[in-house]
Amino acid sequence: NTYGRRVGLVAGYLACLLGSLLCVFAGAESSLILLTVGMVFVGAGLAATWQARFAAIDLADERYRGRAVSVVMWATAAGAAAGPAVAGPAGAVAEMLGLPRLTGGFLVAALGALAAAIWVALGMRTDPLLLARQFNPTRSPSPRQHRSALAVVRAHPQAAYGILAIASAHAAMLAVMVIAPLQMERDHNGLEMIGAVIGLHIAGMYALSPLVGWCTDRAGPRVVTLTGAVMMLTGVVTIWASPPLLALFATGLFLIGLGWSCVMIGTSTAITTALPLDERPAVQGLSDLVMGGVGGVAGAVAGVVVGRWGFQPLSIAEATTLGITVLAALAIQRRNTHFS
């Protein structure tokens, strides 16, 4: 909020670089403690990637905010697709360097984080957030105006509804993603088929982002967020009814991925539109903090639920969680144009 997007993004990518190198060292030394610490720093890189979507909105015309977010989401698809493809060659390079094969992925992550940090540091010399404040000089931050993110959310309930919607949807998505490969393996599907189905889910999350962004600008974030929540509910029901039919299972995962994309782009637009310019960064960071925290808990709990009671109780819990997403989406205003 104080130094602009550029400093925050570069710091996140450098943290990811450090974490990736720690994970490589952890693999070489067989240290679980180092691996855990390294993964925390790698998570900072993911946080920076999520925040990049808000940087795309800073200078976007109000009519095109959904499409601005979708461009960043769409770019993420390239990395998501390339990651599994380079896993084999990266493992071979790691072995050539005398490292465990599985550290190859972290070597790639380190190079990617370094490239991203350099790209942002050199290419974002004109910081979008700081430039947007120059276009809105009457809204430039002052000590009196600085409030905590929670205080801002309390003052702007529309932002709270957006955070609630994305947090609940993300929790439901991660819960099913953690268990889906295990469920498919239990149904005697091979590794190649499991990988293909997960790839289809990831395609749903990112590949159609431009279309989702266009719909957000045309129909409004409320409609798109609600559509995504209903789509995710349909996917959960489809998965619950599908085992051991892989085609239905894959369809359900695709719907969950596409629905998540709708909720992500819709709520990102809604949160930004609901807030004055100088109060957006803190709340946008809080949104991702809540989303990531709730998602992490959901992923951990999902394994316990399936281990003790099976897959169907998890599906019921996911449907209940998505019910919260639906209610939060309904609370979002159709159009909110108070702040530019």
Tell me which CATH code domain 148-335 carries: 1.20.1250.20
**pTM, two decimal places:** 0.84
C-alpha to C-alpha distance for 18 and 27, rounded to whole angstroms: 14
Which one, of 230, 235, 213, lies nearest residue 165 by Cα?
230
- Up-side HSE of residue 237: CA atoms within 13 Å toward CB? 9
Longest dimension (CA), the chain: 62
Tally of CA atoms within 13 A in the half-sphere of 180 that contains its CB: 31
Q: Are 302 and 311 in contact (CB under 8 A)?
A: no
The dihedral region occupied by 141, where left means phi > 0, alpha psi between -120 and 50, and beta the remainder, is beta
* Token pair belonging to 220: 């409004």
Where do the structural domains in the chain lie, given as residue ranges?
1-135, 148-335
- How high is the pLDDT of residue 227? 96
Q: Which amino acid is at 276?
A: P
pLDDT score at 143: 43
Residue that has been written with the tokens 């490969």 in this structure: 181
The 8-class DSSP code of residue 274 comes to: T
* Helix pair angle (65-96, 209-219), 10° resolution: 160
Work out the angle between the directed axes of helices 246-273 and 32-57 (0-180°, nearest 10): 60
How many angstroms from the chain centroid is the CA of residue 11?
18
Report CA-CA distances (Å) from 177 to 53, 189, 320.
Answer: 23, 16, 17
Burial 303-326 (b: 16+ CB within 10 A, else e): eebbeeeebeebbebbeebbebbb
User: How far, in Å, CA of 200 to CA of 87, rounded?
Assistant: 18
Structure tokens at 332: 């979002």
pLDDT of res. 2: 65
What pLDDT is recorded for position 222? 94
| Residue 338 phi, psi dihedral angles, 5° rounding | -70, -30
Angstrom distances, CA of residue 19 to CA of 34, 77, 93, 109, 302? 9, 22, 19, 9, 26
Q: What is the dihedral of CA 204, 82, 105, 18, to 10 degrees?
A: -90
* Whether the Cβ atoms of residue 132 and residue 118 lie closer than 8 Å to each other: no
| 116 token code pair | 């991203």
Q: What is the pLDDT along the chain (340 residues), one digit of tens a residue?
A: 567 888 889 999 999 999 999 999 999 998 999 999 999 999 888 888 888 888 888 887 888 888 988 888 888 777 776 776 787 788 889 999 999 988 998 999 999 999 999 999 998 888 888 888 777 655 544 444 456 888 889 888 999 999 999 999 999 999 988 888 887 877 777 767 887 888 888 889 988 999 999 999 999 999 999 999 999 999 999 888 766 678 888 899 999 999 999 999 999 999 988 888 888 888 988 999 999 899 989 988 988 888 888 878 888 899 999 999 999 999 998 765 455 5
